Amino acid sequence: MIDYWLLFSSAFISSTLFPGGSEVLFVYYLKQQLSLKWGFLFVAIMGNSLGSIVTYLLGSYIHFGQEKAAKKYPKVLLLCKKWGNVALLLSWLPVIGDVICLFAGWLKLPKTAAFINIIIGKSIRYLFLLGIVVLWP
């Protein structure tokens, strides 16, 4: 049970603006207990998705620092403006994935579609990792 909490916490923190490495922990747990793969997959997706949703909400309610982020990541902001919620399918990407979620909130992109696209994007990442572990143990 503690494995699930550690994985959830790591996935949550990794998907906020703080650095983390939930993928390493996810793969480690899979290699230790592959029979629990669906539980680990669910926990990792939910933790990572909820962390990105928190980042989205921070972007929509707290405007301190967004201008600085816009200057540092102008292409990411342009991506969010051009593609809207579809850009959130890329929320799984390292570094800019968190920024995409932040800008999506800042731009007030519709929440329901944003949250669905975040969950889809995060699911793709962990399903890919699960596939690698299962196919190449």
Task: List, for residues 113-125, the tens digit of each pLDDT value.
Answer: 999 999 999 999 9
Flag the least confident range among 25-29, 69-73, 130-134: 69-73
Burial of 124 (0-12, 13-18, 19+ CB in 10 A): middle
Start-to-end CA span in the chain (Å) = 24
Query: For the residues of 60-81, what is the DSSP string, one character each?
Result: HH--TTHHHHHHH-HHHHHHHH
How far apart CA 106 and CA 119 sit, in angstroms, is 19
**Angle at alpha carbon of residue 117, lines to 113 and 120, rounded to 5°:** 140
How far apart CA 137 and CA 131 sit, in angstroms, is 10
Q: Which pLDDT score, from 0 to 100, does residue 137 have?
A: 65
Whether the model clears a pTM of 0.85, i.e. scores above it, the answer is yes
In whole angstroms, how far apart are CA 10 and each of 83, 87, 105? Answer: 29, 24, 22
